[in-house]
Amino acid sequence: MHSRKIKTAVCLAAAMSLAASAALAQMGRTWPSEKKIVPDPVTGLPLVFLTSTDVYHQSKIYQTHQQWTVDGKWLIFRGQRETGSQAFAVNEETGLIVQVTETGYSGMLCLAHKSMKLYVAEGGPGGGRGPGGAPGEAGRAGRGPDQPAGAPPDAQGAGGRGRGGAEGAGRGAGAPPDAQGRGGRGPRPPSGPKRILEIDLAKLFADVADGTVKPAANYQRVCGIVPATLPFDGDMGVDANDDFLYFRVNGPETEKLSEGLTLLPGFGPRARQSTSGLRSMNLQTGEIKMIVNVGFQIGHVQTNQWVPGEIVFAWETTGKAPQRTWYIKSDGTGLRPLYPEAPYEWITHEAVIGKDEAVIAMIGNDRVSMAKPDPGWGPAGTFEHPTGVAIVNLRTGAMRIVGQIPTWSKGRSDWHVAGSSDGRWAASDDFQFEVWLYDRHNGEMNLLAGPQNPGTDHIHPTFNADGTKIEIQSALISQDKRSLNICVVNLPKAFLNRTYSLKVPD
């Protein structure tokens, strides 16, 4: 009898522990505001930190994707708190932080463009560099132990030893630098099927406000399941109409290439041949269809948020690609280079910024020249040819360089790039973790924020919907100078109130 009582007590304690764990992990859990406004030490502009802690780990959604909810009030971010690696939302006005997933996520967080919905691939450690890190950008900033001599420091997305992540196998010791923002060993093969979940943020936020949060099943719907036969790491994008999800896959089902395509040679110091593909999922029925199988490794996948059925993706080599940027329609037609690049150009960090435009970084590498190319990557990034922030027209193919950081800047080269959908602004960060703003009407450039500390990931600037502010991730206020926090930089009113004239000033 005594042993039975002990056994019962142990079972009860275990049940209570499980219940407590479930409560801690609950979707809808909140944290009080961590909001701080800090003047930038260099420019003096106010930096609005919506998280401000070294205790937790967080990072923004990757720069290719929407960051704000459609009502413009909440920023979604990736983080690791007491509840593990989850997705979170922070109210920009009140600072309230809300957990919006319960069973983790793998890869990209995809906000709907027309509703208060969030789409995630369930499970996984939360994607990317370390806890809640950027998609596959494994390894912290800094030169890796085997970074090729000639490569610009971290033009490649991060040297050093990888810390793992759901969207990339992480960068092993001595792995090459990563211009495309992925770990050096390609995507990690997932083990088993993955559910795609739709999360009703409006309903969740309303119940959080009322203090009536319910179990997660009340806020999420299973859209479909990606089977284990299609290895899938969560790199995906939602169509402009919010009705389809487009995602990259690997594995045997990609080995039969689409008509007219061939297996391309490997490229770079760790060259390897690979096939990969794109698939679509109907978010109402869960039906999966093939878009394309290509003869190279696909990197980041994104959609045109303004035009249905348009997809932009990258050729991932862990460095310079022979042809980095690609465009295709969701029905599998129209496959072509987004920007046809030359061997001496180092193109990376593409992002669709409007219905007819994409922005690309043309990275400058001052350690190489046409006469002295890098042994692994060739003359890529030589300053003997144009570099800077470039805008590509998706319809005509026309490309214009809208600016580049000045020659006196220690930042040396533009790195990650962004643009406002109204065509007025472009932005970039540089190798010094500074943030630059480009006025596309008059060509003026301004430094918005000085060095933000070389944290565990990059700045990754992204504009909001109306082009009045930029979200970054910054280690500026972290005591360890590594822990990232979510930060918003408002464009100065003097810039926003500008008018333009073709007349010469008096």
pLDDT value for 503: 82
- At residue 126, does pLDDT exceed 80? no
3-state secondary structure of 96: coil
**Mean pLDDT confidence for 374-391:** 96
Cα distances from 294 to residues 252, 274, 388, in angstroms, run 12, 9, 29
Rounded to an integer, what distance in angstroms lies between the CA atom of residue 311 and that of residue 330? 7
Rounded to an integer, what distance in angstroms lies between the CA atom of residue 420 and that of residue 305? 13
- At residue 78, does pLDDT exceed 50? yes
- Band the pLDDT of 64: cuts 50, 70, 90: very high
Domains of the chain, earliest start first: 25-144+151-493 (2.130.10.10)
Nearest of 471, 374, 463, 375 to residue 421 by alpha carbon: 463
128 compared with 245, residue with greater pLDDT:
245
> What's phi and psi for 172, nearest 5 deg?
-75, 170
pLDDT value for 457: 93
- At residue 165, does pLDDT exceed 90? no
Residue 43 per-residue DSSP state:
T
Claim: this prediction has a pTM higher than 0.75: yes
Rounded to an integer, what distance in angstroms lies between the CA atom of residue 420 and that of residue 445? 15
Rounded to an integer, what distance in angstroms lies between the CA atom of residue 396 and that of residue 336? 13
- At residue 268, does pLDDT exceed 90? yes
Rounded to the nearest integer, the mean pLDDT of the chain is 86
**Mean pLDDT confidence for 100-127:** 90
Residue 374 per-residue DSSP state:
B
- pLDDT, one tens digit per residue, over 334-365 is 999 999 999 999 999 999 999 999 999 999 99
Residue with tokens 């420019």: 43
pLDDT value for 15: 40
pLDDT value for 265: 95
- At residue 155, does pLDDT exceed 60? no
Residue 85 per-residue DSSP state:
E
Residue with tokens 């999966």: 288
- Band the pLDDT of 125: cuts 50, 70, 90: low
- Band the pLDDT of 138: cuts 50, 70, 90: very low
- pLDDT, one tens digit per residue, over 291-319 is 999 999 999 999 999 999 999 999 999 99
- At residue 82, does pLDDT exceed 60? yes
Rounded to an integer, what distance in angstroms lies between the CA atom of residue 116 and that of residue 113? 8
- Band the pLDDT of 187: cuts 50, 70, 90: very low
- At residue 434, does pLDDT exceed 60? yes
- At residue 68, does pLDDT exceed 60? yes
Rounded to an integer, what distance in angstroms lies between the CA atom of residue 23 and that of residue 16? 10
pLDDT more than 90, % of the chain: 78
- At residue 55, does pLDDT exceed 70? yes
Per-residue three-class SS string for 247-287: EEECCHHHCCCCCCCCCCCCCCCCCCCCCEEEEEEECCCCC
HSE-up (13 A, CA, CB side) for residue 200:
15
Pairing assessment for the beta strands 310-315 and 298-303 based on DSSP bridges? antiparallel
